[in-house]
């Protein structure tokens, strides 16, 4: 577990460096082809630095906002709040901010940059449909992501992938609607820029999925194992996964950028749900948990 925490911290730094390098390269290309010189590179530096800082410090708020999560206090939902609070005492981390998502599907996610600045969001469907030990298993799984620093890695990926997508769209539209291009490269350079922008626009969703997969499905198995260790009852988590499998409902406000945050694949029930899934097959997760019992 401690190795996983160190690994996630290193991966966060590596991902940030790679994304900033890509953005700076695109800025340099844009500046040269459009005769802005180092202006394009300077703009890219500002964008990459600013958005990375926003992602690090505010990415959790973006994820919560897009999911439609609403903050709850202990008085609003004492049942859910006490489950989170009790498990946090057991695992030795601060109690995160607790949110409810008005969605009948059974799901949950954790987000934030570290255990001291974390949040956990649970769907209404999970609270209403799961038995106490099942809901405890789901919450324990998400708190394991918090303790293992998975949340920092997952949150920063959302924003960094968004930067590349935004920049690729900008490059493509800049050429499509005209701009100040170099007199020497007006035709050839413009064509290159349009092709680069078009390729990035087409492959941005694919790259996003591959990066999310690169974060590794292993972290879901680790969080399952850590959550089962926390509750001392693997069957509770396995039973919750079985309910999700039988119900097969998609989570309404989930999207490709935030899918990897969720406890279970939020696209269940859709024809594309297994394509580039950020989660291991649910049957394999259930089998692994029942081997622990």
Q: Which residues are catalytic?
A: 142
Q: How far apart are the first and last CA of the chain?
A: 20
Which residues are CB-neighbours of 86 under 8 A, at least 6 positions away? Answer: none
Q: Quick one: CA dihedral 51, 56, 58, 61, positive or negative?
A: positive
Please list the alpha-helical segments (H only) found in 215-266. Answer: 218-231, 234-247
Vertex 283, ends 277 and 289: CA angle to 5°?
115
User: Can you say how many angstroms the Cα of residue 263 is from the centroid of all Cα atoms in its chain?
Assistant: 11
Residue 182 CA neighbour count, 13 Å, CB half: 17
Give me the residues paired with residue 97 across strands.
Answer: 119
Q: How many CB atoms lie within 10 A of CB 293?
A: 9
DSSP E strand stretches across the chain: 69-72, 97-101, 108-114, 117-123
């Amino acid at each position: 577990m401690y190795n996983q925490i160190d690994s996630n911290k290193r991966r966060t730094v590596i991902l940030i460096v790679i994304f900033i390098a890509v953005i700076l390269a695109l800025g340099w290309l844009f500046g040269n082809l459009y005769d802005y010189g180092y202006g394009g590179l300077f703009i890219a530096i500002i964008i990459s630095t600013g958005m990375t800082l926003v992602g690090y410090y505010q990415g959790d708020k973006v994820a919560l906002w897009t999911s439609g999560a609403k903050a709850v206090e202990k008085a609003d939902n004492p049942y859910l709040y006490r489950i989170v609070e009790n498990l946090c005492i057991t695992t030795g981390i601060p109690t995160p901010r607790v949110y409810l998502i008005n969605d009948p599907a059974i799901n949950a996610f954790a987000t934030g940059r570290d255990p001291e600045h974390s949040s956990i969001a649970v769907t209404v469907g999970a609270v209403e449909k799961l038995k106490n030990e099942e809901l405890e298993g789901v919450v324990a799984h998400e708190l394991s992501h918090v303790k293992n620093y998975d949340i920092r890695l997952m949150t920063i990926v959302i924003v960094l992938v968004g930067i590349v997508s935004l920049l690729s769209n900008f490059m493509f539209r800049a050429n499509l609607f005209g701009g100040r291009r170099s007199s020497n490269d007006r035709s050839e350079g413009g064509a290159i820029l349009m092709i680069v922008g078009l390729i990035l626009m087409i492959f941005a969703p694919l790259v996003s999925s591959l990066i999310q997969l690169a974060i590794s499905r292993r972290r879901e198995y680790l969080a399952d194992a850590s959550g089962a260790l926390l509750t001392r009852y693997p069957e509770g988590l396995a039973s919750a996964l079985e309910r999700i499998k039988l119900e097969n409902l998609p989570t309404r406000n989930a999207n490709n950028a935030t899918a990897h945050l969720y406890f279970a694949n939020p696209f269940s029930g859709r024809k594309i749900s297994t394509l580039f899934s950020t989660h291991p097959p649910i049957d394999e997760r259930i089998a692994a948990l029942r081997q622990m019992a």
